[in-house]
Structure formats: structure tokens, C-alpha cells
Structure 1
Amino acid sequence: MDPREFRNAMGRFVTGVTIITAEDDAGTHGMTANAFMSVSLDPKLITVSIDNKANMLGRVRNAGKFAVNILCNHQQDVSMHFAKQLLKEEPIEFGELSGVPIINNALTNVVCDVEREIELGDHTLFVGAVKDIVMNEGRPLTFYSGQYGQYEVPND
């Protein structure tokens, strides 16, 4: 099977858009990601998937903690900034939650300690033990078939 065909097929699953943030000795870093999921309610665990070639892999590993920032529909520019899709990048001002950098005004910020990492294929899964959460009002930014979109609440 052609890798592009597989990627295109996986792109047909509509997802939210997140920024993974972490801080190490080199500073605060972020990465756009849609490979995120809840794993367990008891204990509270989530997982993110990071390409083994991504700079963020070593940063999360070194930090031992990270945040998943679920973006609001008005934060497409933030996603594009961390995906390096903007022609002119503006600096991002980070907030902080439980000692971890977060994206301000995100729909949800989830702070985790790295519980476990599992290398599978060309990615590493980081299982995070959830330590803190902040939720804000708004609607999620979505991603489908290579395009950003917005979720519309039925009968709203």
C-alpha cells in the first residue's frame, strides 16, 4: 500500500486540533498534533503520538511532563504557527498550569506527567498521567482531509 494512500485514508477521520507543549533546558516548545486520545478514567490517563524524527520527542522525554491544549475554533493561526504553515510567524505567549507551559485561551488544557512511552513503528506514544485540567467555553477547531474546520452544535 502506498504511504500517501494510507495517510489520505487516515485523514478522513475528523479530529480536534491540539498543541502539545513542554519545557526543557532549551526553553518552551509546542507542536501541532491531532493524534491524541483519552486512555483511562481510573487512573486518569491520556496518550499522544509523536513522530520519532520530531524535535518534540526529545523535549517531552527530557521534561518528563507535557500539556495537551485542545484548540478553540478561533485558534487556527496558533495551530498553523506550530505546524510551520504561516508565512510570517508571530511570537506565542504561553501561560502556565502546574509548572507546564500551556496555550492561553484554549478550549481545554490538560497537564500530564509522562507515565510511560511506547515506541511503535515511526512514532512514540507518550502515556500521560493527568495532573491538572482547565476548561474554557467555546467550540473546537477541527481537522478533516487536510483542512481546518469548525464543529457546529446541532440545534444551537
Structure 2
Amino acid sequence: MDEKAKKTALRMIPYGLYVLTSRSSEGAAAATVNWVTQASFEPPLVVVAVKMDSRIYGVIRSCGTFALNFLGKDQGDIAYAFFKPVESDEQQIGGYEYEVGVTGSPLLRVVPAFVECRVAEVVERGDHAVIVGEVIEAGVRREPEGRPDEAVLWLKDLGPKIFYGG
């Protein structure tokens, strides 16, 4: 396979940015993720790929629930904050206040929207696990003006030299 062509082609896939959160008896965990998509209307399912050696993956496997916090166009700083491991307490994670959702997952107060999910299935292949989550709760804190998909932060919004994938 032509490695350069593979890398370029896979980088043509557009990605949104989200903060994935979860909480178990081990505490809260969070990470910025971008390999996310909706996979079903009924039941509502989302799919997220997570590095198998990450803390967030261990917490999700332990508790069986997670939340996707949707980042707004102006929230690149939040995406950067969760690219690395973060500290948490009962009120903040990575320096951002949160409330506890119905799944027990942290819901960042500053994000425009979130969904909470129960893990339906996990596929472990390669260096990432694909987690299928059934959406059991959702919230919108800031109504988008215009198309909802234009109100969220995309990986390309972080600049021309930021890539993930390939």
C-alpha cells in the first residue's frame, strides 16, 4: 500500500471534536475525541473510537456509561485542555466545572450540548476500541443559530497543521 496516499486519503475524513467523559469508582476521566458518528436512529446509537491504553477507556469499561460533550466553534481551548490527562474533583475536571448526568458521567457546564450513553457493544481492534453507545439522555444548553453541524468545533478549526488520523 502507498502509505502517503493512505495517510492523505484518511485525513480527508472530516471530524468534529468532543470531550468524552465518564466516571466510575476509580473517579472521573475525560479526553478529547474526534472519531465519532451517529449510527442509528432507533434506538439512537453513537459510535466513538477510544485508545485502548487510555484512562478514559478503562473507566468506560468499568462503569458501562459515558457522555459526549459537544464543543462549540469558539471552544478550541477546551479541546486542547483534554488532549492530555487531566485532574478532577467533585466539581471540576481539567479545570472546567461539571454537573453529574443521569449516567454518572461529568457534563461540562460550558458546552452547547451533550448526549449520555449506555455502552451497547465494544469492538477491540488495532490500537482503538470502537464503542457503540445507546443515547439515553441528551441536552442542549445553547441553541445553534442556523445548521446545528455548523455550530460545533471541527478538527480543521484548530488550524492547518492539526491532524489526527491517517
Identity between Structure 1 and Structure 2 (%) = 27
Matches within 5 A, 1:85-124: 91-98=95-102, 99-124=104-129
SS in structure 2 of the partner of residue 16 of structure 1:
coil
What CA RMSD, in Å, does the superposition of the two structures yield over aligned residues? 2.2
Q: Distance in 2 between matches of 1:70 and 1:115?
A: 21
Structure 1 unaligned blocks of 5 or more: 150-156
Which one is further off, 101-110 or 1-10?
Answer: 1-10
Structure 2 unaligned blocks of 5 or more: 86-93, 145-150, 160-166
Amino acid at match of 1:129: E
SS in structure 2 of the partner of residue 140 of structure 1:
coil
Which one is further off, 6-15 or 28-37?
Answer: 6-15
Partner of 1:153: none
Question: TM-score with structure 2 length normalisation?
Answer: 0.76
SS in structure 2 of the partner of residue 93 of structure 1:
strand
Distance of aligned partners of 1:104 and 1:8 in 2 relative to their CA distance in 1, 3 Å threshold: farther
SS in structure 1 of the partner of residue 81 of structure 2:
helix
- Assess if the C-alpha contact under 8 Å between 2:99 and 2:109 holds in 1: yes
Partner of 2:158: 148
- Assess if the C-alpha contact under 8 Å between 2:122 and 2:132 holds in 1: yes
SS in structure 1 of the partner of residue 43 of structure 2:
coil
Partner of 2:90: none
Q: Distance in 2 between matches of 1:2 and 1:82?
A: 33
Larger strand proportion of the pair? 1
Q: How many residues align?
A: 143
Residue 149 (structure 2) pairs with residue 137 (structure 1): no
TM-superposed CA distance for 1:5, in Å, is 6.2
Partner of 2:38: 38
Q: Distance in 1 between matches of 2:4 and 2:109?
A: 34
Distance of aligned partners of 1:124 and 1:3 in 2 relative to their CA distance in 1, 3 Å threshold: farther
Distance of aligned partners of 1:17 and 1:132 in 2 relative to their CA distance in 1, 3 Å threshold: same
Question: TM-score with structure 1 length normalisation?
Answer: 0.81
| CA shift digits 1:75-117 (9 cap, x unpaired) | 11111011039xxxx6122222213211223232000011111
